[in-house]
Structures are given as structure tokens and as C-alpha cells.
A and B are shown apart, each in its own frame.
Chain A
Amino acid sequence: MKFGVVVFPGSNCDHDCFYVLGEVLQQDVRYVWHQNTELSGFDCLVLPGGFSYGDYLRTGAVARFSPVMKAVERFAAGGGMVIGICNGFQILLEAGLLPGAMMRNVGLKFICRFVDIRVEITSTPWTSGAYEHQVLRIPIAHNEGNYQVPYRTLEEMKLRGQVVFRYCSPEGSVASEYNPNGATESIAGVCNREGNVLGMMPHPERASEAELGSTDGLVIWRSLLTHCGAEVPSGQTRAR
């Protein structure tokens, strides 16, 4: 499977994603510079975390007008798989590829720690390998993860199964005390109607090797590989 990791000025999780996809999961992976508009041949694009354009104006607001984003829109419209992680999620929201918007964390602090998230739906390409309500331990690192979406849109999203992850307790209960940033209904990740575009605040690429404290991120990567018919490396694949 061929992955492209999009690099914006200010991306800083691009190398982590590249490493996990290439070394841990043994996939073909390339960097895609934000000026690039040619995306043919890729099966999945990753919009990584970071501080694209210094987070000026609003997170993701400037990056969404990068030349590559027009191509990403066409790629997604054609059914290509797109995952936005953290700042990548914020960019997808600003681009209108996913519904909603991000606000400052309720506590006004940058939060960098492991959280538990519950898989809300297992019929997406990103969660097909998870069991129902599986709890994944994956770190967050953000200042703007307070997900907001108009009430009516949210109701439609729930009916269509677009709410993919919610912050929860280690046992999987969703309550405000386990919501780190004030996000509406504890939402940590959503997908588009078709399911091929996912945005999530937690960083699965930081939870893909036992040495880093959790391999739960692999649930997402392996689901994706299976969905796309790629060979899934068994067990804990070790990098050199």
C-alpha cells in the first residue's frame, strides 16, 4: 500500500508517521510537499500533526489553502483514504472535508499526555479491526482540541455513524471528567459520510510500538491495511 505523508511548513509529526508506516508497518511511504498537486498512485494520504503556518489566525486555516489541499480534496472525492491527525484534523475541518470546528481547550492549556478513547463504530475502514467499544490508549498533544459542531449536524453525524472516537475512562465510560478539552460529547475523532476521511486528535503514530508505551495505534493502521487489501505485518513488527 502506498502512503503519502503531507508536509506543511510547521508540520512536526511527519517523520513519526513516515517511520511507523515505513519501518513498523513495512509499507511504501513518501513525503508529499505542500506545493505538490500530483497525488496519483497513492492509496492513503496522512495529514500529520504540528503547527502548520504557526497556527496563525486559526489552526489549519492557512494550511487549507496550500496547493496540495485542492489535490487532497479531489483525492478524497475519488474515494482515496485520508487521515488527519491533530493539526491534520484541524486542517480537514477548515477545508470542509469534515464537519465542525476546533476551539481552544476549555482549560486553556496545551495538553500532552496519554488518554483513553473508545471506538464508537467498527464499520469504518479505520476501526474495522477493533471490537465494539474497544478502549485505545493513545496520546494527545494539543491546545485546540475542543471540537464543536452545530447540534443538527451532530445529530445527522450520529445517525450516519460519523462519530468514530470518544474520550473515555480506562474502562470505557464516557463522562465529562474524562474529556480533556471540552469537546462536544467527548468527541475525539470523526469521519466523513463515506468513511474514507478520518480526523482524530490523538496520535496513533505515537502509540505504535511497545517501547513508546502503547501499541493501540496499530489497531487503526491495521484496520486500514486490511480494508485496502494490503498485507498486514503480524505481531509487533520491530524496526531495525
Chain B
Amino acid sequence: MARARVHITFKEGILDPQGKTVLRALKSLGYDEVEELRVGKYMELELAGEDRARLEERLGEMCEKLLANPIIEDYDLEVDA
């Protein structure tokens, strides 16, 4: 059994309406040091198997196919095996 984490964020240059709104809200609370904020998605998975390279490859496929939309989103994945 391996645990995996996937972070999905909008690509650079894609306007993130949620991120912009949260950024404005933080600024209105006085957190002027916040210069950029992007809202993304975080997923935790449990995967059967031990072969880390293989699991990373499979998880990359899952991201490309379903978990992320490669037109507008980037993903990062980590597998602890």
C-alpha cells in the first residue's frame, strides 16, 4: 500500500477568479504582504502496490486523463512507497 498526493493548480497565465477573490479578501483584512494567490485542488489517494516508479507513472496517467484538465491545469504528484 502506498499513499499519494496530487496538487492541481491553474496554469500560469490563466486567470483564476476564485484566487483573485480570496486575494482581495486577504488584502481587505490587512494582509498586504500577499502578492499572489491561486486556488487549487488537493487529493489524497491510497494505491495498491510497492513499485514507486510504476505507481508514479500510473498516477501521472490518471492526472492526464481525469484528475486534471491539461488545457488549463498543471499537476504535481508525490508517491510514498
A residues lining the B interface (CB < 8 Å) = 57-58, 61-62, 65, 94, 100-101, 103-108, 146, 148-150, 182
Of the candidates A57, A62, A103, the one whose C-beta lies within 8 Å of that of B72 is A103
- Chain A residues with Cβ under 8 A from B81's Cβ? none
What is the bound-complex CA distance between A57 and B75, given in angstroms? 14
Q: Is B15 an interface residue (CB 8 A)?
A: yes
List the A residue with the shortest CB-CB distance to B43.
Answer: A57
Of the candidates A61, A65, A107, the one whose C-beta lies within 8 Å of that of B69 is A61
List the B residue with the shortest CB-CB distance to A146.
Answer: B17
What is the bound-complex CA distance between A61 and B63, given in angstroms? 12
B residues lining the A interface (CB < 8 Å) = 10, 14-18, 21, 66-67, 69, 71-72
What is the bound-complex CA distance between A149 and B66, given in angstroms? 18
- Chain B residues with Cβ under 8 A from A146's Cβ? 17
18 more A-B residue pairs beyond the given contacts A105-B17, A107-B17, with a C-beta to C-beta distance below 8 A: A57-B66, A61-B69, A62-B66, A65-B66, A94-B69, A100-B71, A101-B69, A101-B72, A103-B14, A103-B72, A104-B18, A108-B17, A108-B18, A146-B17, A148-B14, A148-B71, A148-B72, A149-B71
Contact yes or no, B17 A104, CB < 8 A: yes
Residue among B10, B15, B21 with the highest chain A CB neighbour number at 10 A? B15
How many Å from the CB of B76 to the closest CB on chain A?
Answer: 17
For the complex, would chain A's binding face be called helix, strand, loop or mixed by DSSP majority?
loop
List the B residue with the shortest CB-CB distance to A148.
Answer: B72
How many Å from the CB of B6 to the closest CB on chain A?
Answer: 12
- Chain A residues with Cβ under 8 A from B18's Cβ? 104, 108
What is the bound-complex CA distance between A105 and B21, given in angstroms? 12
23 inter-chain pairs at a CB distance below 8 angstroms, sorted by A residue, are A57-B66, A57-B67, A65-B66, A94-B69, A100-B71, A101-B69, A101-B71, A103-B10, A103-B15, A103-B16, A103-B72, A104-B18, A105-B17, A107-B17, A108-B17, A108-B18, A146-B17, A148-B71, A148-B72, A149-B71, A150-B71, A182-B15, A182-B17
How many Å from the CB of A110 to the closest CB on chain B?
Answer: 13
List the B residue with the shortest CB-CB distance to A61.
Answer: B66
What is the bound-complex CA distance between A86 and B15, given in angstroms? 21
How many Å from the CB of A11 to the closest CB on chain B?
Answer: 20
How many Å from the CB of B74 to the closest CB on chain A?
Answer: 13
